[in-house]
C-alpha cells in the first residue's frame, strides 16, 4: 500500500511545512456488502449500514471533487447528511484501508530524512487513534439510542448516518492502531514530492500546473483535486 506524506502549507522561517497523509481511493472489494441472504449479527447489520452510507459518501465526495452542481433532490437534512458522509469518507479513507494492509510504503519529500517522515506519520496516527477511540464510544451510544430508526421501512439516511459514524470510527481506530506498528512501514524519498514542497510558494496558476505534472509523475489521479481542496481549507477567513 502506498501512502504519501504531502507538504500542503509552505514552511514559515525556521520551521517545516505542514504535512498531510494521502492515499488514492481504491474500489471497494466485490465482497463488500455481500451476505444479504444469510442472517446477520448486530455488528453485521451495522457493517451493512456502513457500506450503504459509504456508497452514498463516496458518490457525494466524487461529485464535489468533480465540481458537479449540488443535487437539489431530497430534504435539507438529507443533503446535509450526504455532505457529512462525503467529509467523513475524505478524512478516514486512509485509516480504513490500513486495516487490511500487509505492508505500507511512505513516500516523502527527498528533502526530509526518512526517520523524520516516519516520526511525523506515527504522530499523526497516534492522534487519530485517540480521537477515533473517543468518538467510537460516543457514536456507539447514539446508534443504540437511535435503534428504532433502523426499523423504518425503506432507505433511512439518518439511521445509516449514525451507523456509519460508529462503525467508521471503529474501523479508523483499528487502522490507526495497525499503522503504529513500525514493522508495517518502509520509507521512500521522492523527488516529485520535494518539487511539490517548492511549488507551494508559487502563484495559484503556476502551482496548479506544477501539481498536475507532479500528479502524473507519481502515477496518481486525484492529487490535484486534493491539493486544491486543502488550499481552499487553508485560506484565511
Q: Of how many residues is the chain composed?
A: 237
Cα 167 from Cα 172, distance rounded (Å): 8
In 3-state terms, what secondary structure has residue 137?
A: helix
176 and 21 in contact (C-beta within 8 Å)?
A: no
Cα 60 from Cα 232, distance rounded (Å): 18
Give the start-to-end residue ranges of the domains of the chain: 2-25+54-234
Measured from the Cβ of residue 120, the count of other Cβ atoms closer than 10 Å reads: 17
**Predicted pLDDT at 53:** 62
Angle (deg, nearest 10), helices 114-145 and 76-98: 130
Pairing of strands 2-9, 104-109: parallel
In 3-state terms, what secondary structure has residue 31?
A: coil
Measured from the Cβ of residue 5, the count of other Cβ atoms closer than 10 Å reads: 23
**Predicted pLDDT at 89:** 73
Alpha helices (H) in 99-156, listed in sequence order: 114-145
**Predicted pLDDT at 153:** 47
Strand partners, 19: 7
Pairing of strands 185-190, 18-22: unpaired
Q: Give tens-digit pLDDT for 84-99.
A: 676 777 778 899 899 9
Question: Which grid cell is 3?
Answer: 501512502
**Predicted pLDDT at 148:** 62
**Predicted pLDDT at 130:** 94
**Predicted pLDDT at 31:** 42
Q: Which residues of 178-200 are buried (b: 16+ CB within 10 A; e: fewer)?
A: bbbeeebbebebbebbbbbbebb
**Predicted pLDDT at 232:** 76
Nearest one of 7, 16, 13, 22 to 194, comparing CA atoms? 7
| Low-confidence residues of the chain: pLDDT under 50 | 28-38, 40, 153-154, 237
Cα 17 from Cα 6, distance rounded (Å): 9
Amino acid at each position: 500500500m502506498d501512502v504519501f506524506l504531502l507538504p500542503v502549507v509552505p514552511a514559515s522561517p525556521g520551521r517545516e511545512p505542514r504535512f498531510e497523509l494521502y492515499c488514492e481511493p481504491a474500489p471497494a472489494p466485490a465482497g463488500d456488502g455481500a451476505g444479504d441472504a444469510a442472517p446477520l449479527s448486530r455488528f453485521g447489520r451495522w457493517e451493512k449500514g456502513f457500506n450503504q452510507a459509504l456508497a452514498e459518501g463516496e458518490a457525494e465526495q466524487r461529485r464535489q471533487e468533480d465540481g458537479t452542481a449540488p443535487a437539489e433532490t431530497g430534504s435539507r437534512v438529507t443533503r446535509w447528511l450526504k455532505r457529512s458522509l462525503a467529509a467523513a469518507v475524505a478524512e478516514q479513507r486512509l485509516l480504513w484501508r490500513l486495516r487490511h494492509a500487509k505492508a505500507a510504503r511512505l513516500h516523502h519529500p527527498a528533502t526530509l530524512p526518512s526517520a523524520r517522515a516516519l516520526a511525523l506519520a506515527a504522530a499523526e496516527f497516534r492522534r487519530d487513534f485517540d480521537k477515533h477511540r473517543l468518538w467510537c464510544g460516543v457514536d456507539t451510544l447514539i446508534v443504540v439510542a437511535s435503534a428504532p430508526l433502523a426499523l423504518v421501512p425503506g432507505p433511512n439516511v439518518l439511521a445509516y448516518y449514525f451507523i456509519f459514524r460508529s462503525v467508521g470510527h471503529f474501523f479508523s481506530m483499528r487502522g490507526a492502531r495497525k499503522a503504529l506498528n513500525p514493522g508495517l512501514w518502509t520509507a521512500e524519498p521522492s523527488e516529485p514530492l520535494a518539487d511539490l514542497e517548492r511549488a507551494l510558494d508559487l502563484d495559484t496558476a503556476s502551482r496548479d500546473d506544477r501539481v498536475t505534472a507532479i500528479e502524473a509523475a507519481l502515477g496518481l489521479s486525484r492529487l490535484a483535486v486534493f491539493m486544491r481542496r486543502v488550499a481552499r481549507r487553508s485560506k484565511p477567513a
